Structure formats: C-alpha cells, structure tokens
C-alpha cells in the first residue's frame, strides 16, 4: 500500500476546499472557511509546488487527474508566483 | 529578451512623432499622447524586469520541466485540453505563465530554455518515426 505523503494530504485538502468554495449551495460558514483556507494557502511561498502538481498531474488512464476548477485555481497560483517574484 | 521588446517599442513610439518635409516635428497630440503612455508602460515593465529576482536553480528546473512536459503531453502528443469547456481558459494563463518564465529569466537562464523549446519542435525520435503507420512503405 502506498504511503500517503504530507503533500498528498495537502493536495486532498486543497481540492476539497476548491470544490466547497466553487459551490454556492454549500453552508455559508463552511464556504467562508474554505475561502479563508485557500487564501492562507495562497500566501505560502511554497504553494507553487502544490499548484504545479495539481495542474499537470495525470490519472492512470492518461486524462488529467483534477477537475477544471482545481486546475484553474492551480494555474492562477502559478501565474501569481511567476508574476510577483 | 525584455531588452529587445523595450527598444523595439521605443523605436516604434519614436516614429509616432515623425517629421514634415521642412524638418519640423509633426505634432499630432493624440498619437503623441498614445505613444507616450505606451512608452511609459514599456519603461515601467522594463524597469520592473531589472528588479526581477532570478529563480533559484531547483525552482527553475522544476517549473521548466513541469510546464514543458505539460505542453508536450497535452499539445504535441495529447488531446490539447479537449475536455475543457473553453480551451482559452487554460491557454491564456498557461501562455502568460510560460511568457513570464521565459522572458523574465535572467540571461544565464534564458539559454536553458532553448533545448526544451527545440525538443517540442522535434516530437518524434527517428526510430519512432520509422515505425509510424503513415509511412507508405515497409521499414523492416
């Protein structure tokens, strides 16, 4: 069985937060909690690594592993990282 | 590379003034103002480029490898984001990110982009190419 790394756990949390943030029907408190979490993640200077994985990771069947919402969020992080350095 | 764009812009804006046959400046205030605003924008971009901190070697390599591998798997060999509802939603930001990575690199890192860029133009190895079914004759 594959050992789940800290990076994988972080990716799973971010993916969940993006889904919640992108869904307006979610509970209001949960929605703002997700937005706050994503905002905190964005401020971390090492988030670009996570964003790169989210954007380019490929599933075993050759398709992209993550959904368009998650990949767009990741792409924005990469763009900001390169733009603001 | 940014230096090139800066001087090209400067040259183009310089022509917006122009001269008449008597050698005096043709003063079209609208063209002049537009040129001045654009020159100002280019100058500030160029000055911000001078302040860009080069990425450290490790970060640079991971980003370069990741982005160029993505282009190769998705756009050279792959479906070119066919599943996306609107391809430009990825294309615009990805082009902008690659532009930032390539053109805002300091000179010693700019040269490092040439190999992966040329590799994108040569997607097949010779042995791959010989085994492609589109060849009209047997290769063995």
pLDDT by residue (tens digit) across B72-96? 888 887 787 877 776 677 788 888 8
ipTM above 0.85, yes or no: no
Q: Does A7 touch chain B (CB under 8 A)?
A: no
* Residue in the block written with tokens 């812009």: B9
Question: What pLDDT sits at residue B119?
Answer: 77
DSSP 8-state class, residue A3: P
User: Which helix (H) or strand (E) element contains residue B94?
Assistant: helix B88-103
* Residue in the block written with tokens 């997607």: B123
pLDDT by residue (tens digit) across A15-62? 999 999 998 888 899 999 999 999 999 999 889 999 999 999 988 887
Question: What pLDDT sits at residue A19?
Answer: 93
Q: Do B90 and A82 touch (CB under 8 A)?
A: no
Paired tokens of A47: 């988030």
Q: Do A82 and B100 touch (CB under 8 A)?
A: yes
* Residue in the block written with tokens 């209001």: A28
Paired tokens of B73: 């798997």
Cβ neighbors of B62 (< 8 A, separation 6 or more) are A49, A52
pLDDT tier at B136, thresholds 50, 70, 90: very low
Nearest by CB to residue B66, choosing from A56, A68, A85, is A56
* Residue in the block written with tokens 């979610």: A26
Nearest CA in chain A to B71: A56
Q: Do A85 and B73 touch (CB under 8 A)?
A: no
Question: What pLDDT sits at residue B6?
Answer: 55
* Residue in the block written with tokens 């040129």: B35
Beta strands in B1-136 (DSSP E): none
pTM, 2 dp: 0.69
In total, the C-beta contacts within 8 angstroms joining chain A to chain B are 45
Q: Does A56 touch chain B (CB under 8 A)?
A: yes
B contact test, residue of A46, A54, A78 with most B CBs within 10 A: A78
User: Can you tell me the distance from the alpha carbon of A72 to that of A10, in angstroms, rounded to the nearest whole number?
Assistant: 17
Residues A70 and A10 sit within 8 Å (Cβ to Cβ): no
């Amino acid at each position: 069985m594959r050992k789940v790394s800290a990076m994988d756990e972080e990716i799973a949390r971010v993916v969940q937060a993006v889904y919640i943030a992108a869904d307006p029907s979610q509970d209001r408190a949960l929605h703002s909690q997700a937005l706050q979490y994503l905002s905190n993640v964005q401020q971390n200077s090492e988030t670009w690594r996570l964003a790169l994985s989210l954007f380019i990771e490929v599933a075993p069947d050759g398709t992209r592993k993550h959904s368009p919402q998650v990949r767009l969020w990741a792409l924005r992080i990469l763009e900001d990282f390169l733009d603001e350095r | 590379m940014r230096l090139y764009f800066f001087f090209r812009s400067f040259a183009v804006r310089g022509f917006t003034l122009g001269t008449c046959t008597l050698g005096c400046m043709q003063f079209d205030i609208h063209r002049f103002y537009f040129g001045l605003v654009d020159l100002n924008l280019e100058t500030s971009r160029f000055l911000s480029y001078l302040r860009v901190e080069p990425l450290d070697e490790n970060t640079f390599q991971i980003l370069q490898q990741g982005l160029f591998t993505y282009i190769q798997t998705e756009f050279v060999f792959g479906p070119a984001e066919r599943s996306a509802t609107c391809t430009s939603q990825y294309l615009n930001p990805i082009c902008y990110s690659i532009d930032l990575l390539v053109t805002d690199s300091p000179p010693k890192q700019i040269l490092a982009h040439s190999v992966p860029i040329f590799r994108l133009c040569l997607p097949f190895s010779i042995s791959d190419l010989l085994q492609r079914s589109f060849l009209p004759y047997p290769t063995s």
